[in-house]
Structure 1
Amino acid sequence: MSGYPIVLTGLAGRCCVVVGGGAVAARKAQALVEAGARPVVIGPELGPEVEAMAVAGQVQIERRCYRPGDLAGAALAIAATGDRQVNAAVAEEARQRGVLVNVVDDPALCTFTLPAVVRRGDLLVAISTGGQSPAFARHLREMLEEIIDPAYGELLALVGSLRPRVLSRALRERQLQVWKRLLDGELLAILRRDGRAAAEARAAEILDGFIEQETGGTGGTQELNG
């Protein structure tokens, strides 16, 4: 299945409906909570994971069967009931209302699919098989989790904080070289070994070296060559 990859960033405070109350529905609801949404979970029987989220105030629950009209005002919907007829009814209402919908285990009814995700702070790596094999996506995610450790999230936060300085007039003409130097692996190694403060200090030295070179000093050549 072909698709256009996007990351939804406007879900904060938005109502998102999850139909179903089992473990799968709980995982989908938890992901929505992490995105800042206000999930409403609808199902006649709700599992312990959903109940725990409700007690914590993370989700609103409706202990009943789905009924037409439940998607009114929803930003998106997820059907995870295990009942194909109910899931199809949710998908049909979503289509009529123009609401994005994901139907678990039925890609043909989906207007979006949910990838397997590796999260490291604000770094998000998504893996999609177009709904063909969630197990394969999970397998790849587990492989990437071994490679992309938490230090990558810390590196993203660090280089993000440096962006205004890299885009400043003093370094604007050499942005590509500066980014290549900052991301060549040295800062990542320092983060893993010595922590954020040491990495920030080294990054400042690297940028100072580039600026000195641009302004006619002699101290930047060593930094440029690494």
Structure 2
Amino acid sequence: MERNNLYPVFLKVRNLEVLIIGGGFVAEEKLTFLLKSSPDANVTMVSPLFRKGTLAIAETGHVKRIEDSYNIKYLEGKHMVVATTDSPEVNIQVYHDCRAQSKLVNVADNPPYCDFYMGGIVTKGNVKVAISTNGKSPTTAKRLRQFFEDVIPENIDYLVKNLNVYRKKIKGNFEQKVEILNEFTKGLVEKV
């Protein structure tokens, strides 16, 4: 059986500079999901043309738009890059330019040219669940996202906040606190 060896992390993208190269439908999709998860993300988009929908979404966040074709100069100061142009040659050039500068890069719909994938995400208050299919099936990630949106209770954020307060008041060493919290939260995963 093949194994997913990706290491999941949760990035504070408000502290990073993100570059999206392209202004078409795929760029719009990537921008939409990025801003949905992290509305305070700092994003620059470079494209000779932008879809109207992309422009509308860009207005909702901290998105700088540059009307131009890709140029390596646009990588300066960027931490993460997403290439979404309709030119495979340009996207692969972006990949090689990013790798030469040790920048994280995702070439949309081309897993061999990705350092990271933008998977399915479920957010309920302070709780966030990320789903990856190792770049194999975005549709499966979407369905799993819908499943988790349904099964994670709406009041989960209330529980998380109260458990944080409770955790600070528990007496004992680390192992004792973990045991108490495990007992307290086991109802979250019990099968009905």
Q: Which has the higher helix share?
A: 1
Aligned-partner residue type, residue 7 of structure 2: P
Consecutive unaligned residues of structure 1, counting only runs of 5 or more, are 187-226
Equivalent residue for 1:60? 64
Q: Is the 8 A contact 2:4 2:133 kept in 1?
A: no
1:21 aligned residue (15, 20, 23) = 23
Q: Is the 8 A contact 1:79 1:103 kept in 2?
A: yes
Equivalent residue for 2:127? 123
TM-score (norm 1): 0.72
Deviates more, 1:172-181 or 1:71-80: 172-181
Higher relative contact order by CA 8 Å / sep ≥ 6: 1 or 2?
Answer: 2
Q: Which has the higher strand share?
A: 2
2 CA distance for matches of 1:139 and 1:10?
Answer: 25
The structure with the largest alpha-carbon Rg is 1
Aligned-partner residue type, residue 84 of structure 1: P
**Matches of residues 1-226 of structure 1 in structure 2 within 5 Å?**
2-33=4-35, 34-35=37-38, 36-56=40-60, 58-166=62-170, 168-169=171-172, 174-185=176-187
What is the deviation of 1:44?
1.5
2 CA distance for matches of 1:123 and 1:64?
Answer: 38
2 CA distance for matches of 1:98 and 1:4?
Answer: 18
Q: Deviations over 1:108-160 (max 9, x none)?
A: 00011111111111211111111111111111111121111322233222212
What is the deviation of 1:12?
2.1
What is the deviation of 1:172?
5.8
**Root mean square deviation, CA, Å:** 2.3
Aligned-partner residue type, residue 114 of structure 2: C
2 CA distance for matches of 1:172 and 1:136?
Answer: 38
Consecutive unaligned residues of structure 2, counting only runs of 5 or more, are none
Aligned-partner residue type, residue 112 of structure 1: F
What is the deviation of 1:57?
5.1
Aligned-partner residue type, residue 94 of structure 2: V
